[in-house]
Amino acid sequence: MDQSLVNDLKSQSRDDLLFRNGESNAGVPRMRTAYIALGSNLGDRVAMIEMACNEMDARGIKVKRASSLWETEPMYVLDQDRFVNGACEVETELEPLPLLDALQDIERSMGRQKIIDKGPRNIDLDILLYENETVVHPRLQVPHRLIAEREFVLRPLAELVPHRALDSTRPWKLIQDYLNELLPPATGHVEPLSTLTPLRASVAPLHALRSARATQVMAILNVTPDSFSDGGLHLPPSEAQSYTVERQDIEGDGPPSSSSPPSSVYLSTLRSTIQRFIASGATMIDVGGQSTAPGAPEVSVSEELSRVLPAISLIRSMPEAAHVSISVDTYRAAVAEAAVAAGADIVNDVSAGLLDDEMLPTVARLGCTVCLMHMRGTPATMSSLNEYPEGLIPTLAEELRERVDAAEQAGIRRWRIVLDPGMGFAKVGDQNLEILRHMPELRRWPGLEGLPWLLGSSRKSFVGKITGVTKPGDRIYGTAATVTAAVQGGADIVRVHDVLEMAQTVKMADAIFRY
């Protein structure tokens, strides 16, 4: 940098520097847009980044959008742990230097100590871009001078503003162009960068773009009397016989009603079921207290809570479940909030926030991971809403993208989102096969790239129709075929009833397709 320019900048007052382009600072400050790099490689890396984002929000530096989180190898100083990196778009009244001061104060308040340049750190916040301004100052250079050589910066930034120029003197060269120009290492095989989706602090996150990742097995625990294939499974025989669904002959009291606590016999039976799930290979358990089967009655919030909370609390109290993630299958914000307070890690919403306006803001406030499923209408009306004149896959992808946008606008960080195409929900027959055949296309769809996917084909009616198996509980082999197809297509989670059989299926499918 020319020394006379440096000396000139040093001599300017802050106002002179920040309004050097002839802007006036009179009146109400206008809101500015900036892009901030996020990084951590010490402690709970995701928690540190989320804490920093929350602190920015609290200080009036509003996080409007966030990229995915990416797990990356260290650069420059190689003898340190992997980083988690991301970027966010913020809206702020602060000019560049006051914004830098605020970010550095957040770092200090979180215990950041800079011992080695480019060395380990619990949190790192850098200004990458600020409006369309170029800032040259002894303390700050914007655009950040090392953006073009850092894949771990370009990748998240390209998610947010791929078609923006970095250099005002070269407006034709866009951020995506810089990313495309980064060459792979000259020798050796290096796994491409992958997004990271946290589930639970004690559980490894999902890596949706890592080729050798293990598929997660989500066990279905329906504490309902009327779910389509396992309703009444945890009810005492005397009560379960009044339902026409298939059930297993187990002893024990049924789920508690909203006016009675769970009995010891019921909890003992439930504990045995959970232990069997875990021993069979479940890495996640999805607890549901409201059936979404067509024709199933809608229960009250208090009734749904009385069903799911004892199960969630029980799972969380079991030492063998310490490394098992819990999701709550609900479309109600009040149930989601109580379930997370009881120990659930994930909200699995079949409506992606459409059936309760408070769901997405509630999940954002809770800071947990959410699964957004594609569905039309309600469980009572969805079966008649299965026409897709513009094509199933494009329509499904765009409707899911709209829900992702709604989630982000509500404040849910992108790295907290899982997607579900909703097999059997407003899809009939061969439409479900089309989803399985086109999973790679869905995973690459603009706006959905890098997000993990959950598929739930277990015992669905299309499996029974194709195989000729009438009873849902007997559709094991057909379900296994769909689970294998889901793994081949890139699913990160499969949601299943028959845990032992599907866990074995997943192991074999992973060995074939994930290497």
Closest CA to 84 of 58, 117, 115, 122: 122
Region label for 147, one of left (φ > 0), alpha (ψ between -120 and 50) or beta (otherwise): alpha
Q: Please report the pLDDT score of residue 184 as a whole number.
A: 65
Classify the C-alpha dihedral 162-165-171-173 as positive or negative. Answer: negative
What is the homologous superfamily of the domain 206-241+262-513 according to CATH? Dihydropteroate synthase-like (3.20.20.20)
Q: Residue 92: how many CB atoms within 10 A of its CB? A: 21
| Distance from C-alpha of 501 to C-alpha of 506, rounded to nearest angstrom | 9
Start-end of CATH 3.20.20.20 domains in the chain:
206-241+262-513
Which residue did the predictor score with more confidence, 124 or 118?
A: 124
What pLDDT, on the 0 to 100 scale, is given for residue 226? 52
Please, where in the chain does CATH 3.30.70.560 lie? Answer: 32-190
pLDDT tens-digit series, residues 161-172: 999 998 888 889
32-190 carries CATH number 3.30.70.560: yes
Task: For residue 60, report the phi and psi dihedrals to the nearest 5 degrees.
Answer: 85, 5
Share of the chain above pLDDT 70, in %: 83
Which DSSP string do the residues of 171-193 spell out, in sequence order?
TTSBHHHHHHHPPPPSSS--PPP
Opening angle at CA 112, ends 77 and 107, nearest 5: 115
Q: In this structure, what token pair is assigned to residue 228? A: 């389509």
Task: For residue range 9-58, list pLDDT tens digits in order.
Answer: 344 434 444 433 434 445 667 899 999 999 998 889 999 999 999 999 99
Written as six digits, the tokens of 100 are: 């830098």
Stretch 286-300: mean pLDDT: 88
The average pLDDT across 77-92 equals: 86
Q: Are 497 and 456 in contact (CB under 8 A)?
A: no
Active site residues: 460, 495
pLDDT tens figures, 337-390: 999 999 999 999 999 999 999 999 999 999 999 999 999 998 888 888 999 999
Average pLDDT over residues 135-158: 91
